[in-house]
Amino acid sequence: MPPTASPPAKGSRDVWLDAAFDLLIESGVDSVRILPLAKRLKLSRTSFYWFFKDREALLDALIARWREKNTLGLVRQTEAYAENIAEAMLNVFDCWLNPQLFDSPLEFAMRSWALQSAPVEREIEAADAERIDALTRMFERYGVEPLAANVRGRTIYLTQIGYISMKTQEPLEVRMQRIPDYVEIFTGQPPGPRDLKRFHARHGHSPTPPR
């Protein structure tokens, strides 16, 4: 009796979702469709339906993963242990340098999607409010009055969203040189040498010694 044929490869839910994210970032939400995804993955179109009811379910999953990665990633960093507000600010800056904590190209793609989708626009508005609230609470934990804490949180957040919206690119060395001044501007306190040393080590950065 001949062996039973193996079922056709279907991939996995994460494989389909990862490919959808890649298309979203590369070409926008209109490109996130089942047939192009199947061709990209070299999988059958019907295998998509093992994991998602339809395209709308896939788009909902994209939104959920973006919320988990970028919004919760930022919120967690505002809650990370720090001895002072300057160190807490450096914890937040980890998001802007580590795409595992906060994916800036994905954020840009989501905001572009929101321009053509009212539900996604509402998701963006909710995320903005949650992120600013987390930054506000971070400042309040270090003794900043609520209004000032909110203004500082908004300033930090809107500055970074500006970076993302303008697709600003900076060499790592340049960004690292600017970070101590950003920390002082945003918090009113300069980061200490130990705080900066730990921050640099987290990002594999060795400052160029002054000549």
pLDDT (tens digit per residue) in 125-157 = 999 999 999 999 999 999 999 999 999 999 999
**What mean pLDDT is predicted for residues 68-84?**
97
Answer left, alpha or beta for residue 52, where phi above 0 means left and psi between -120 and 50 means alpha: beta
Sign of the torsion formed by the C-alpha atoms of 150, 154, 155 and 157: positive
Confidence of residue 58 (pLDDT cuts 50, 70, 90): very high
* Span 79-100, pLDDT tens digits: 999 999 999 999 999 999 999 9
CA distance 138 to 83: 12
How confident is the model at residue 211, as a pLDDT? Answer: 54
11-30 per-residue burial string, b: 16 or more CB within 10 A, e: under 16: beeebbbebbbebbbeeebe
Total-model pTM: 0.90
CA 195 to chain centre: 23
How confident is the model at residue 2, as a pLDDT? Answer: 43
Write down the residue that tokens 């056709």 correspond to.
Answer: 8
Going by C-alpha positions, the residue among 135, 127, 151, 142 that lies closest to residue 66 is: 127
Is the distance from CB of 167 to CB of 108 less than 8 angstroms? yes
Looking at 3.20.20, 1.10.10, 1.10.1740, 1.10.287, the CATH number of the domain 9-52 comes to 1.10.10
How confident is the model at residue 206, as a pLDDT? Answer: 86
Q: Is 164 exposed, middle or buried (0-12, 13-18, 19+ CB in 10 A)?
A: middle
Mean pLDDT of the chain: 93
Residue 210: is its pLDDT beyond 90? no
Is the distance from CB of 67 to CB of 123 less than 8 angstroms? yes
How confident is the model at residue 117, as a pLDDT? Answer: 97
